[in-house]
Structure 1
Amino acid sequence: MRYRLTFISGVAVGYVLGARAGRERYEQLRKSAQRIAQNPAVRNTVETAGQTGREAAVKAVDAVSAKVGDRLPPAVADRVRRLRAGNGRAQDDWGTSNT
């Protein structure tokens, strides 16, 4: 309950501050965020973090599947097979690219 109340109060404060700032400030923040996202250093860091995360996920899947064996649900077992077939570089379903 405490976390829910904190979240709701954060949303309320964000809404009030956002409403006071107006559309002009929103556009400034949006352009600034786009500039940061398009920075090559940021893109490289994000890609490196993504690769590290994928590698860690593959190691975790291997460790879990070695301990659990054939008791995995069919959906999870299919995903594990796809990860292993692609050497951990399987395409995700989140609409993102691996570039």
Structure 2
Amino acid sequence: MAKLSLLVGFGAGYVLGARAGRERYDQIRRAWSQAKEDPRLQEVAGMAQAHADSVVNSVKARMGSEAPN
């Protein structure tokens, strides 16, 4: 019974997903393109990149100072 429920659920999800597939995909792509050009998102991405760079540099400095000679 559990397998039958799983198969029915999978089948329904597949049919509904296929029906909305291309339209939904295009909608998500348009939203991503608009968000990608948003200056607020670019600012946050720049801050995240700067933070990641500082963490990487910190880890590199620690590994360099703790490495055996």
**TM-score, structure 2 as length reference:** 0.69
Look at both structures and tell me which one has the larger radius of gyration over its CA atoms.
Answer: 2
Equivalent residue number for residue 53 of structure 2 = 54
Equivalent residue number for residue 19 of structure 2 = 20
Segments of structure 1 that go 5 or more residues without pairing to the other structure are: 1-11, 71-99
Q: Over aligned residue pairs, what C-alpha RMSD do you find?
A: 2.2
Higher relative contact order (CA 8 A, sep 6+): 1
- Give the SS at the match of 2:67: helix
Q: How does 1:1-20 map to 2 (within 5 A)?
A: 16=14, 18-20=17-19
Segments of structure 2 that go 5 or more residues without pairing to the other structure are: 1-9
Tell me which protein shows more helix as a share of its residues: 2
Paired residues, what number? Answer: 57
Structure 1 residue ranges (4+ consecutive) displaced by more than 2 angstroms after TM superposition: 15-20
Equivalent residue number for residue 67 of structure 1 = 66
Equivalent residue number for residue 90 of structure 1 = none
- Percent of aligned positions that are identical: 25
**TM-score, structure 1 as length reference:** 0.50
